[in-house]
Amino acid sequence: MSAGTHRVVGLVDYKAGNVQSIENSFSHVGAEVVRVKTADDIARCTHVVLPGVGAFGFCAEKLAATSLAPALAAGALARQRPLLAICVGMQLLADGSDESPGVAGLGWVGGQVKRFAGGPGVRVPHVGWNTVRFAHGWGDFPAGSSADFYFDHSFAYGVPRLGRAVGLCQHGQEFSAVIQRDNITAVQFHPEKSQTAGLRMIEGFLRQ
């Protein structure tokens, strides 16, 4: 981040998982972090982060209870305010997930989230460090480059209906590790737990 650029990161606080680690990683690279609970809170921010840990249905229900979705959509889709969605936060952007049938996602990226098929040599949950290949450049990760990130999940995105898969990963099947649509970047891994590569991702997001 260039000196003198003040970034205010709104961390959507909807009681679905560990937001402290995300807050710590953004603070570490010099951003101001605020926990957002209302549309007015979001209006103050230059960037927004949508976290999420736990079951899809649980997170969707908790997010719906905040009534923040329209303000998030207005900011991210109208290209004003970059949004980073992490892990189940990413999955919430789908139309739905096999984890919680009948529960609607936000549909901003669309597509269906499915459980890993697993099989010999492919354990589920997918836990640990895996290599993401950038099919398109993102931040300072050039097209064709690779980096290892930390994953911890059982469900994943195949192909987005809207936007494009920027980063791809293999675990018995190919899945989308990074999806981008307009001002939205969605990552299946945990940048806040991915040491140097994760901090590079966070800095790239803050430069948007």
Number of residues that bind another protein (CB under 8 A): 47
Show the tokens assigned to 162: 């809207």
The DSSP code sequence of 95-131 is SEETTSTT-----SS-SEEEE---BTTB-SSEEEEEE
Shortest distance, position 45 Cβ to another protein, whole Å: 22
Of the candidate residues 43, 65, 78, 122, the single one contacting another protein (CB under 8 A)? 122
Catalytic center residues: 87, 190, 192
Compare residues 39 and 150 and give the one whose CB is closer to another protein.
150
Q: How many CB atoms lie within 10 A of CB 117?
A: 10
Of the candidate residues 74, 172, 182, 208, the single one contacting another protein (CB under 8 A)? 172
- Determine if 153 is a binding residue for another protein (CB under 8 A): yes
- Determine if 21 is a binding residue for another protein (CB under 8 A): yes
- Determine if 171 is a binding residue for another protein (CB under 8 A): yes
Taking phi over 0 as left and psi of -120 to 50 as alpha, with beta for the rest, 144 belongs to left
- Determine if 118 is a binding residue for another protein (CB under 8 A): yes
Show the tokens assigned to 61: 């229900």
Of the candidate residues 47, 81, 126, 181, the single one contacting another protein (CB under 8 A)? 126
Stretch 185-204: interaction string toward another protein, x if CB under 8 A = -----x-xxxxxxxxx----
Q: How far apart are CA 51 and CA 91, in angstroms?
A: 10
Q: How far apart are CA 112 and CA 162, in angstroms?
A: 12
Shortest distance, position 124 Cβ to another protein, whole Å: 6
Q: How far apart are CA 27 and CA 15, in angstroms?
A: 20
134 close to 143: Cβ distance less than 8 angstroms: yes
- Determine if 79 is a binding residue for another protein (CB under 8 A): no
- The C-alpha torsion from 55 through 171 and 205 to 76, rounded to 10°, is -50
User: Which residues of the chain form contacts with another protein (CB under 8 A)?
Assistant: 17-18, 20-21, 24-25, 28, 53-55, 58, 88, 118-119, 121-131, 146-148, 150-154, 169-172, 190, 192-200
